[in-house]
Structure 1
Amino acid sequence: MIGRLWSAFFLIGMSPGFYYPALTNILTAQGLDSSFVQWTWLAGPLAAMISPVFVGSLADNRFAGQKVLGWLGILSAVLLAASFRVLETDWPKEWFIVLEYASAIVGAPLWSMMASLCLVHLRSGENEFPIVRMGGTAGWIVAGLLLSFVIRADTSPMAGYFGALARLAGGLFCFSLPATPPLGRSRSLRTLFGIDAFRLLKERDHAVFFVTTALLSMPLTAFYMWTPKHLAETGDGHVAATMALGQISEVVAMLVVAVLLRRFRVKTLLVVSLALTALRYGLFAWSGWSGAKTGLIAGVTLHGLCYTLYFITAQLFLDRRVPVEVRSQAQGLIALFSSGIGSLAGTFAVRAWYDHTVTAGHGGWAMFWAALGGFLLLLTIGFSVAYVGTGPRSGRSSW
């Protein structure tokens, strides 16, 4: 059971591992400007606002989870391959964005759906889910290393083709996962569109958590969009492999997160994650000021710990606290607030800040990263004050 779930996550994680870290540099090599890069990166945030909660509702109430995952993987793989093909043809490059958006909308629920399916079948989510979820991280690492050192396509559309191939394999493999029939029975339109999940926001801690997640995801877009470009400007010729250092540290973090969850409150882990994220951008700012690559490499390596302590803890947190009939939708809400609302706002804000500081030369990379780090420091303080840590049906709890 654990082996099959791990393998499914591996293939799903391998797909973005091939092209995400290289995407900005691929588009730049095609002669496309920062505006085109921005609109491309908006695909994920817009998709996360459309499909994860809706698809989660279908899996909660209408269709078997493993079949939903399979068809999502196959269709999004075809659209992803078609989008990168545009870069090698005479077609207007705007078609790349159109097909990227279509692929993203179809593929956006994959991660949250896989998390929900796993937590249904695992006997001990706290202990076993981090191990299973590590498969996605391992897939991302392997893809980055293959792209940089074997395929040697850090600036080539070939990265997208390999990403599509991995996603196709993942979709096909998902059909072999354990049968996961819908646990809910509602057929109302309110349930169909995932509106029931928003009732979670009526509880204080849930509301604080989701708002914080959206605000955290705003500066987080800068990590994915502009760190590869900053690395390239320091002379790094294997950007995809360097970015994989974040996933390597994520593996280590997932090995210890179950132990940390048993010893510390969720609030403590979330606060530590936010503080480390602010520190990471401080290291980036130091590299921008000094011109050295050391701070960038240290910050990228820190990424895995930051991500795991916040988002993996959050997925386990929600699985414990929400009713079984809305669990897939609750996982979709994390995608909505992080990859959707937060990343959408962040993509616009970060691109404008990049143009002002780096392109126009008002402070350069040092100012670019320092301001984002300051924002995250304020967010850490705000969350520490606003989040209480009271269980939904009882008194104070370790969660």
Structure 2
Amino acid sequence: MATAEGALQGVGRPADGLLTGRLSALMFMQFFVWGAWTVTLGLVMQTVGIGNLIGNAFSVGPIASIVGSFLLGMAAARYVSPRMLMVILHLIGGAILFVLPSLVTPERGDTLVWVLLGYMILYMPTVGLANTIALKSLGDRTDRFPFVRAFGTLGWIAAGLIVGWAGLSASPQIFTISAVVSIALGLYSFTLPNVEPDAPRDESVVRQVFCVEAFSLLKQRSFMIFITCATLISIPLAMYYAYASPYVGATGIVNVGGTLAIGQMSELVFMFSMPWLYRRFGVKPLLLVGMAAWALRYALFAIGDGGSSIWAVYLGVALHGVCYDFFFVAGAIYTGTIATPKGVNAQAQGMLTLFTYGVGMLLGSQIGALLYAQLPATPSIADWQQMWWYPAIAAALIAILFQFTFRDTRKEAAA
């Protein structure tokens, strides 16, 4: 939550090629650890007979985003350097990941969810810590950060391809692969630049934790509508992360991990074009296209099958770049333009994460679980098609709401 702002106060180290390479390796492993297990976890759980717990398993991430950020991101980061926190959290997290495969059974399914929650509370703060280390180490050369961060997406892609190539898409051993890389990252973190913790702001810790200054931005009508729609669109988003893998498996596609990695490949393509597109078209067209893409993606899933319409499955997965970048990356840029004049950019980005990856995806995971509970124990492709119409219609309605209520008042004022 305090990455971008803290970076401006960081040490001004030269952003040479060696440093860029070291930080790129950090990002690659950081997201490899996450992507190795989360992409096909739903398929694994359905395969072993605990599909009814998929919604709860994917609810732990949103909860951990909130709890982990508060307890570790705001408290521990004041007293321990980001580098040492990375060492501690990834080594402990790696040990937990080694235990998780033994819990993926019908008898121990509930325990799996609780242990996974504990792991994610440790993991989620490391995403922000990795950004902090990279941004502060780059100093004035923050223009290199998009290149460094792109290796995170490459790590996620590589994890999916390796899991799929090894034939482990439906195996609990996805956690073992993640555990090995987590331990490696924990040890590698000893070699990272030793940047200083963020200097405390004048305001109290409580005000920072609860993003008090950022919440004042909601007085602006356009920003409040954006936050509302961002939260709502995160509800159908959660269903993709939780149920895309068992759906793709039901179509007869064997390499599920590799297939879903196509989405991250498209995300990488659009990521670098977002600043130019934002300047060229403004915020509303990009956000609207992003929301419409979610509706289109789910509609494609609703007609996709393992036969003549298999193209709809692949196209729906490939739309991830438009779905994610056009809404969430553009939304982060828009939030920065609103918050920067007030000097609360870090808090505002944290608040956006709280509403989207926290509140929205938590609701989406639970609503998705209710819809999944209506399906047979072993859903057919027809059952999956019927289920996908619900998020498709929801995303379309949210896009319509956004179209008729949102106005970019900043653009009008500039004109």
- TM-score class, shorter-chain normalisation, is 0.7 to 0.9
Whole-angstrom CA distance in 1 between matches of 2:184 and 2:344 = 28
Structure 1 residue 219: Cα displacement? 0.6
Give the match for residue 17 of structure 1: 35
Q: Is the 8 A contact 2:82 2:194 kept in 1?
A: no
Q: 1:352 to 1:43 in 2, by over 3 A?
A: same
Q: Is the 8 A contact 1:6 1:133 kept in 2?
A: yes
Gaps of at least 5 residues in structure 2 are: 1-14
Superposition map of 1:162-173 within 5 A: 162-173=177-188
Q: 1:169 to 1:389 in 2, by over 3 A?
A: farther
Q: Is the 8 A contact 1:116 1:328 kept in 2?
A: no
Q: Is the 8 A contact 2:100 2:112 kept in 1?
A: yes
Answer yes or no: is 1:29 the counterpart of 2:44. no
Q: Is the 8 A contact 1:59 1:182 kept in 2?
A: no
Residue 176 (structure 2) aligned to one of 161, 184, 190: 161
Matching residue's letter, 1:292: S
Give the match for residue 5 of structure 2: none
Structure 1 residue 260: Cα displacement? 1.6
1:248-284 CA-to-partner distances (Å, cap 9, x unmatched) read 1111112322322332212222121111111111111
Q: 1:140 to 1:338 in 2, by over 3 A?
A: same
SS of 2:273's equivalent in the other structure is helix
Larger deviation, residues 351-360 vs 207-216: 351-360
1:39-95 CA-to-partner distances (Å, cap 9, x unmatched) read 21221122123222554434886554444444333333332332233337x973322
Matching residue's letter, 2:350: G
Whole-angstrom CA distance in 2 between matches of 1:80 and 1:133 = 24
Give the match for residue 52 of structure 1: 69
Give the match for residue 395 of structure 2: 376
Residue 340 (structure 1) aligned to one of 358, 368, 385: 358
SS of 1:237's equivalent in the other structure is coil
Q: Is the 8 A contact 1:228 1:243 kept in 2?
A: yes
Structure 1 residue 326: Cα displacement? 4.8
Give the match for residue 330 of structure 1: 348
Q: Is the 8 A contact 2:28 2:151 kept in 1?
A: yes
Matching residue's letter, 1:299: G
Answer yes or no: is 1:93 the counterpart of 2:109. yes
Larger deviation, residues 212-221 vs 160-169: 160-169
Residue 237 (structure 2) aligned to one of 205, 211, 220: 220
Structure 1 residue 306: Cα displacement? 1.6
SS of 1:39's equivalent in the other structure is helix
Gaps of at least 5 residues in structure 1 are: none
Percent identical pairs in the alignment equals 27
Matching residue's letter, 2:146: P
- Backbone CA RMSD of aligned residues: 3.1
Answer yes or no: is 1:137 the counterpart of 2:153. yes
Q: Is the 8 A contact 1:119 1:319 kept in 2?
A: no
Structure 1 residue 288: Cα displacement? 5.2
Structure 1 residue 146: Cα displacement? 0.9
Give the match for residue 229 of structure 1: 246
Whole-angstrom CA distance in 1 between matches of 2:129 and 2:223 = 20
Q: Is the 8 A contact 1:63 1:182 kept in 2?
A: no
Residue 273 (structure 1) aligned to one of 271, 290, 299: 290
Structure 1 residue 302: Cα displacement? 0.9
Larger deviation, residues 376-385 vs 67-76: 67-76
Answer yes or no: is 1:148 the counterpart of 2:164. yes
Structure 1 residue 236: Cα displacement? 0.9
Q: What TM-score comes out, normalization by structure 2 length?
A: 0.83
Q: 1:377 to 1:290 in 2, by over 3 A?
A: farther
Answer yes or no: is 1:43 the counterpart of 2:60. yes
Structure 1 residue 397: Cα displacement? 5.1
Answer yes or no: is 1:179 the counterpart of 2:198. no
Q: What TM-score comes out, normalization by structure 1 length?
A: 0.86
Whole-angstrom CA distance in 1 between matches of 2:271 and 2:206 = 36
Residue 211 (structure 1) aligned to one of 212, 220, 228: 228
Give the match for residue 406 of structure 2: 387
Q: 1:61 to 1:395 in 2, by over 3 A?
A: farther
